Amino acid sequence: MTHTLGRPDFELIAGWIEPGHRVLDLGCGDGSLLRHLIDVRGVQGVGVEIDDANVLAAIKNGINVIQGNLERGLDEFADQAFDHVVLSRTLQTVRHTEGILREMLRIGREAVVSFPNFAYHKNLRAVLDGRMPVSEDLPYQWYDSPNVRFFTLLDFEDLCTKMGLIIRERHVLDEDGNIVAGEDHREVSFLGSLAVYRLTQSR
């Protein structure tokens, strides 16, 4: 039995991971993604999570989870200890963006990053109407949001270029979970609510 919980990005991520690979999920929440990867790919999974309730939920989900704060570093993990390090819908909540991305690719051969796209048309419309956006991928009110960064696909790709990170694959999903196709970057950005990237480090 799988536990995708209506998360089409789980299927995309699973497609990038080979059976039996070692996966570290940073900010793993209740462990749903790792549970899915264990069920469908037989991965060896470890999660890192700070919230007490989520740690307990992940344990109940059968996940090997370490309670820790991503912002304080990941020194406990050796270089290249994992095949994939995942940061799912969490990058917008961290302050040390470059440091987290560097650590992900120190610890793992590949990094998988997903985040809400602030340039999605519903988000832009909300701002034009004088409100901060609230959506499935940005579900918080401005005053109780854990998000500290708001950025777009182009912003993230510019950062990857600056850091020398290689984008191996990118998928952009709409709110219904469908992949937004097309060559026009502006159109994809306008129609896409969630972006999922597969990254490696240039050597």
Query: Which pLDDT score, from 0 to 100, does residue 145 have?
Result: 80
Is pLDDT at 203 greater than 80 in this prediction? no
Closest to 7 in 3D by CA, of 29, 28, 36, 27: 36
CA pair distance 134, 132, nearest whole angstrom: 7
Domains in the chain (CATH in brackets) are 8-201 (3.40.50.150)
Residues 26-55 have pLDDT tens digits of: 999 999 999 999 999 999 999 999 999 999
More confident residue, 171 or 71: 171
- Calpha distance 111→201 (Å, rounded): 9
The whole-angstrom distance between residue 6's C-alpha and the CA centroid of its chain comes to: 16
